[in-house]
């Protein structure tokens, strides 16, 4: 088929978009929009240059170039929609502190298409937000997680042993991705079948790549591959959900076993309650499963990879972490020798609570290399900030590095210093430290992520020492920061490694 007719169609569509934009500009000429460029092509805008900069770890420079040209508040077009960038602590407070009647955490079309329009971000500000969030929090709150700590410890211990057995070198990023996905499947969603887990792992990989791609739904594009992968995920998980629903109805499955069962129990209760105005649907459960699976493992894998990198680069930090973790191992040995209800040799909630220095190291890694460059919000009514109008429907993007590396907020921000997170001696201003968001938009999975990271690091540092294969490996970003080559490391098993009785 000739490409000439296609070019004509594309040209006509582009001209129509431009005509619409010109008309809209004339209608809204009384508004004071931020300065900036919306890009040459409608819809695509500056998406391609932004994604290119992110992949080269030049996202900060991309923003700073526009801040220097337009100011700390500027407009552009990203991921299919007009977008206002807001930088600095005051701007972050405005975005993350805004009520859901003004700004909601709805995502660009590329992200919402993969996660689904009923996920927790998309329903913020509606009646559906509270029950769905409560279902997730009923499992993710600390007192619920306490009951799963020993299972997580055994699972992580066994998986690390399995995936490192006989290996002198591992690629840290893929190792951590598979490990955190395994924990998410088993602990969060109750998926214990290995073939199902492996199939889902591959499909979610396509989904994650698609979320920060250009919104081009054509054969061969990254976005199209992500859409198709999501369809296969839904097809795979639906029979599992239907079976769980029946078990919950019969009373043979405890809804508190995992997050997925918690959500399905709401769906089941809603179906049996004729008085409920907006019953929870299977589509809502599916979308939140997809969204939470994406959120629950890739960010943790990225953070853990960079902690492993830092421990390899800084012997003093590594030795301090090992000292803390070995003291906990010694206490576990003593408990097992003394016997009693807690004497099965596995980590307890109290053990995790003692990992204070290790957690401060993780926090400092997330400050220096934020897991998220920033995030989108959407204005659901006309609003304004800094003297500029933000129309209803526009996206708003806040940036993490603008506060994380600000000398007025963190003393000597380029220095790696875990002690800055010692709450007894330092107070960090609200809306300044943002790996988990802030205010009432703080990530609901914070506590789960903390526990998971500490359990993984406990086993890594008590089992191994390691060195970097490539000491000068660069950072690339595909939404999250990754080592360019996946951070291969040389493993050195510790002869004194002790494992509890399985």
Structure tokens at 335: 């408990």
Strand partners, 388: 385
- Helix (H) / strand (E) containing 287: helix 282-313
Nearest to 18 by CA among 54, 53, 42: 42
Nearest to 50 by CA among 90, 110, 7: 110
Within 13 A of 243's CA, how many CA atoms are on the CB side? 7
Which residues, 6 or more positions from 157, have their beta carbon under 8 angstroms from its beta carbon?
A: 459, 499, 500
Measured in degrees and rounded to the nearest 5, phi and psi for residue 141 equal -70, 150
What 3-state DSSP class applies to 60?
A: helix
Nearest to 136 by CA among 296, 322, 350: 296
Sign of CA dihedral 373, 421, 426, 97: positive
The CB density around residue 410, as the number of other CB atoms within 10 Å, is 22
Strand partners, 478: 480
| Residue for token pair 């499947």 | 185
- Helix (H) / strand (E) containing 489: strand 488-493
Q: Do 415 and 353 contact (CB within 8 A), yes or no? A: no
Q: Do 140 and 247 contact (CB within 8 A), yes or no? A: no
Q: Do 72 and 239 contact (CB within 8 A), yes or no? A: no
* CA pair distance 155, 150, nearest whole angstrom: 9
* CA pair distance 95, 397, nearest whole angstrom: 8
Measured in degrees and rounded to the nearest 5, phi and psi for residue 343 equal -100, 35
Q: Say if residue 443 carries a ligand binding annotation.
A: yes
Cα Rg of the chain (Å, integer)? 24
How far, in whole angstroms, is CA 198 from its chain's centroid? 20
Q: Do 85 and 74 contact (CB within 8 A), yes or no? A: yes
Q: Which residues are annotated as a binding site?
A: 443
Q: Which residues are annotated as a binding site for heme?
A: 443
């Amino acid at each position: 088929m000739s490409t000439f007719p296609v070019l004509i169609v594309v040209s006509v569509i582009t001209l129509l978009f431009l005509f619409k934009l010109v008309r809209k500009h004339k209608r809204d000429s009384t508004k004071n929009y931020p300065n900036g460029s919306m890009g040459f092509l409608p819809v695509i805008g500056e998406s391609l240059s932004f994604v290119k900069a992110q992949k080269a770890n030049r996202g900060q420079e991309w923003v700073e170039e526009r801040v220097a040209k337009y100011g700390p508040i500027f407009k552009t077009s990203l991921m299919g929609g007009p977008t206002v960038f807001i930088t600095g602590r005051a701007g972050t407070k405005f975005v993350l502190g805004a009520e859901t009647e003004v700004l909601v955490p709805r995502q660009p079309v590329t992200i919402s298409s993969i996660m689904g329009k009923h996920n927790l971000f998309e329903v913020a500000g509606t009646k559906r937000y509270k029950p769905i969030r409560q279902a997730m929090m009923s499992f993710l709150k600390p007192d619920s997680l306490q009951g799963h700590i020993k299972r997580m410890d055994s699972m992580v211990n066994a998986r690390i042993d399995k995936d490192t057995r006989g290996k002198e070198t591992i690629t840290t990023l893929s190792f951590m991705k598979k490990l955190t996905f395994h924990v998410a499947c088993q602990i969060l969603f109750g998926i214990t079948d290995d073939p199902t887990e492996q199939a889902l792992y591959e499909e979610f990989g396509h989904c994650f790549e698609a979320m920060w791609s250009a919104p081009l739904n054509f054969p061969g594009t990254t976005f199209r591959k992500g859409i198709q992968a999501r369809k296969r995920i839904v097809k795979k998980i639906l029979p599992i959900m239907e079976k769980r629903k029946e078990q919950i109805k019969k009373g043979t499955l405890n809804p508190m076993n995992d997050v997925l069962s918690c959500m399905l129990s709401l769906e089941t209760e809603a179906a049996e309650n004729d008085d409920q105005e907006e019953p929870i649907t299977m589509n809502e459960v599916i979308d939140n499963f997809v969204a939470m699976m994406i959120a629950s493992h890739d960010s943790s894998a990225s953070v853990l990879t960079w902690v492993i990198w830092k421990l390899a680069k800084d012997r003093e930090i590594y030795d301090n972490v090992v000292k803390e973790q070995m003291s906990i191992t010694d206490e576990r040995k003593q408990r097992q020798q003394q016997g009693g209800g807690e004497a099965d040799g596995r980590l307890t909630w109290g053990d995790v609570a003692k990992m204070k220095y290790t957690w401060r190291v993780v926090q400092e890694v997330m400050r220096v290399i934020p897991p998220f460059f920033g995030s989108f919000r959407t204005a659901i009514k006309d609003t304004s900030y800094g003297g500029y109008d933000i129309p209803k429907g526009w996206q708003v993007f806040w940036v993490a590095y603008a506060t994380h590396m600000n000398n007025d907020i963190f003393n000597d921000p380029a220095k790696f210093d875990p002690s800055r997170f010692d709450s007894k001696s330092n107070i960090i201003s609200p809306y300044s430290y943002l790996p988990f968001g802030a205010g009432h938009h703080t990530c609901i999975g914070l506590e789960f992520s903390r526990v998971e990271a500490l359990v993984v690091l406990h086993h890594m540092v008590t089992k191994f020492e390691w060195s970097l294969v490539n000491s000068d490996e660069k950072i690339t970003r595909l939404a999250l920061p990754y080592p360019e080559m996946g951070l291969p490391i040389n493993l050195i098993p510790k002869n004194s490694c002790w494992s509890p009785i399985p």
